[in-house]
Amino acid sequence: MPPSCVDLPHLTMSETAPNSPTSQATVAGTISPASSKAPAPESEALAHLVTIDADGDVILSVTDSDARINRGRTCDFLVSSKVLTLASPVLAKIFRSSSLEGNKLPLSPSLPIIRLKGDDPDAMHELLRHCHFDTEYLPDRISDMRTLAKLAVVSDSYDCLRVVRPWAILWLHMVSTEMATSFTQVELGWWVLAAYFFRSSQFSIITGTVVPLLRADFVSIWDQDRLLQTYMPDAIRGSWNTRHRDQTLSFVSPYEY
């Protein structure tokens, strides 16, 4: 199994992104060179370095801003700036920023560090592996809708849905009606959220399956989950709250929003 930054059961998404159909968050990356001097204190050291590319030329240091849940967890990834420039226009902009001008990304032991705050380290880990074509480990089916929803949100934030979407669409569509009936109210929300952010062409079919399974108090249940509370678009939450009992109600694809 590949290295993991933190334990998957404790995954949580930060609450800093806007509640909108597509993320409009601006990712602010701060760049600093890794020191080749005496080791830094434990709190500042690269204690959770995960190698995505053994020949990488930059380190992404990702910190989840939700200190109440994750205590500001940080995970560091050794990556290829060239690969990520091709995969993500957002990261490409960071790499081209004035902070990197004149910096040719020197090889170890002085790799530059780009610090990204407000992203879930585990979701970022999965996204970076997709971007670097490390996909041999991927399963044919994913039943954990929370993981899928978190991956959808971070992929949207960094504008690299095209990298993950082929796999994500497969996973979304592998969820059967029978499987959906066993989902909790929150899991149904995660399924919808993932379909929404991954721009699934079967969004209306998925929501058509979900709507009859929602309880009258589903909104209050969703509001207790930070991922759904933060990222579920108001257009979906509001319309379903008032009309979800109409099982004939159809919803258009995100492409039509």
**Class assignment of domain 8-142?**
alpha beta
CA distances from 113 to 6, 57, 95 (A): 20, 10, 11
**Mean of pLDDT values over 156-163:** 93
In the DSSP assignment, the letter for residue 245 is: T
Residue 10 binned pLDDT confidence (cut-offs 50, 70, 90): very low
Report how far residue 105's alpha carbon sits from residue 56's, in angstroms, rounded to the nearest whole number.
Answer: 10
Residue 110 binned pLDDT confidence (cut-offs 50, 70, 90): confident
**27: pLDDT strictly greater than 90:** no
**217: pLDDT strictly greater than 70:** yes
Q: Is the model more confident about 27 or about 138? A: 138
**Mean of pLDDT values over 102-106:** 44
**34: pLDDT strictly greater than 70:** no
Closest CA to 90 of 158, 31, 161, 163: 158
CB atoms within 10 A of CB 11: 19
Q: Calculate the CA 223 to chain-centre distance.
A: 19
Least confident of 83-97, 110-124, 152-166, 233-247: 233-247
**20: pLDDT strictly greater than 80:** no
CA distances from 221 to 226, 229, 237 (A): 11, 10, 12
Burial 14-50 (b: 16+ CB within 10 A, else e): bbebeeebbbebebebebeebeeeeeeeeeeebebeb
Closest CA to 61 of 29, 95, 14: 29
* 113 SS3 class: strand
Q: Is the model more confident about 5 or about 41? A: 5
Q: What percent of the chain has pLDDT over 70?
A: 66
Please calculate the CA angle 142-148-153 and round it to the nearest 5 degrees: 165
In the chain, domain spans: 8-142, 165-256
According to the model, what pLDDT value does residue 33 have? Answer: 45
Residue 9 binned pLDDT confidence (cut-offs 50, 70, 90): very low
Contact of 46 with 34, CB cutoff 8 Å: yes
Residue 109 binned pLDDT confidence (cut-offs 50, 70, 90): low
pLDDT tens per residue across span 224-248: 999 999 999 888 876 666 554 454 3
Contact of 223 with 19, CB cutoff 8 Å: no
Report how far residue 190's alpha carbon sits from residue 228's, in angstroms, rounded to the nearest whole number.
Answer: 7
**5: pLDDT strictly greater than 70:** no
Contact of 127 with 151, CB cutoff 8 Å: yes
Most confident of the following: 59-68, 165-174, 223-232: 223-232
* Average pLDDT value for the chain: 75
pTM: 0.73
